[in-house]
Chain A
């Protein structure tokens, strides 16, 4: 069987062996319900609270500001809908962006249907929010500003410290979707002025089914679901202790040499970009040249369809992603690339390589070996229409 190379870490990541090892006992021997009074429960609770402390360290928060959810999407939903429902009287406006993950965009749409006012800030060609636009838009009716830290498609990082400052000046609360950035680049919620933050386990080598929502002390949240008193009633439901332990172990590993790993990953990421730039005519890079997550590379090949590209590289053993229509099941091509000003047809021919733990130079070289030939073949078929 042909060797396979995985370049879709922004979609999901493998669970690291140390993480699997740490969580396994909580599936088998230490299976107690963390709310139970007996020793089985106390054991589980202890592990959960230790994990909470560890996760808090990643972002510089207090442990009791860390809430465990089922995923990043859930964290985003609770942050937005949960806070807007508790916002001070007279403040019924949410300001977010056009390049957010659908968890934010769709929750925004739901809030609009419920009568809230929602504004979506545009981005420039580099996928960056102009903070002057935020200053211009924000007013005394704004309850919440939500701007993602690292974009999932392009990797581009927003200046969230400045955004948080602008939000606070206007008396609004600031949330960031850090699902792609947490564990990859340093975050300190107090230094950066972040009031709420979403994280997802399976983006940083923990299993799927575990997320985190940081909520600064004092920020009121109306729960979206009802049940027991778990997580201060904000996210009722028997805690996924194994997932929580896994999250904490993954966070610990992420904190080890974070800067060094980021630097190495950037170097690995930059290599195919340079190589493809040299080997392929007419390629456009999306998000290159501005602060970006270390492992993300997004490029467009006019004259070629993204799905055709994906299948072609998959045949060669390379797994990547694209924001084109037909693959995602959406009718429209990537809303992020469109917001950046790309023509729909160009956005259609885009490819995202996202690297992480386990990416090697060999894999990166293999991209360079395969991709130019594939692009040439597909452009021949299209006559570059």
Chain B
């Protein structure tokens, strides 16, 4: 059912936890099967320095969460915004069709975190 990469990220997820004083937080819930993901990012000079997650969900949900945090670390905000659900799924060597909505969750949580960062940042700038 799942690729070796998915199982690896499920058994050994990277970046589990919370960021202290996060610069942006994204939270997404999945109406399809009730998965929930919370993603925190630390941003410096437009680069995502750190990302951590908490996820309630199935193997695919945990694996996609873990993968997306790996993918964003060291990227600029613009690069991170380009990360799509397909990109997350591809990085894991693919997901079963019924589980594609999990990669959606991860991508959406990331974009939500970036949006949150921009909102906070915009306020501060004013």
Contacts and interface: CB of A to CB of B under 8 A. Distances in A.
Given A329-B98, A381-B62, A305 B11 contact: no
Nearest to A383: B54
A315 B11 contact: yes
B9 to A, nearest CB: 11
A307 interface: yes
Interface residues of A, number: 23
Contact of B57 (A308, A315, A331): A308
Interface string A54-91: 00000000000000000000000000000000000000
A308 to B, nearest CB: 6
Interface string A166-178: 0000000000000
Interface stretch (B30-38, B70-78, B83-91, B110-118): B30-38
Contacts of B47: none
Interface string B45-59: 000000000111111
A303 interface: yes
A126 to B, nearest CB: 24
A165 B33 CA distance: 41
A383 B10 contact: no
A194 interface: no
B18 interface: yes
B56 to A, nearest CB: 4
Contacts of A344: 34
A1 interface: no
B34 A308 contact: no
B16 interface: yes
A325 B33 contact: yes
A311 B36 CA distance: 19
B126 to A, nearest CB: 32
The majority secondary structure among interface residues of chain A is loop
B13 interface: yes
Contact of B56 (A315, A329, A385): A385
B38 A345 contact: no
A333 interface: yes
B59 A308 contact: yes
B33 A326 contact: yes
B61 interface: yes
A345 B36 CA distance: 10
Given A307-B59, A315-B11, A385 B36 contact: yes
Interface string B87-110: 000000000001100000000000
B108 to A, nearest CB: 16
Contact of A382 (B2, B33, B54): B54
A383 B38 contact: yes
A385 B38 contact: yes
Interface of A: 303-305, 307-308, 311, 315, 324-327, 329, 331, 333, 344-345, 348, 380-385
Task: In the A-B complex, list the 4 residue pairs whose CB atoms are closest, starting with the nearest.
Answer: A383-B54, A307-B58, A382-B56, A326-B33
Interface of B: 2, 7, 10-11, 13, 16, 18, 32-36, 38, 54-59, 61-62, 98-99
Given A307-B58, A311-B10, 5 more contacts: A308-B10, A311-B2, A311-B59, A331-B32, A345-B34
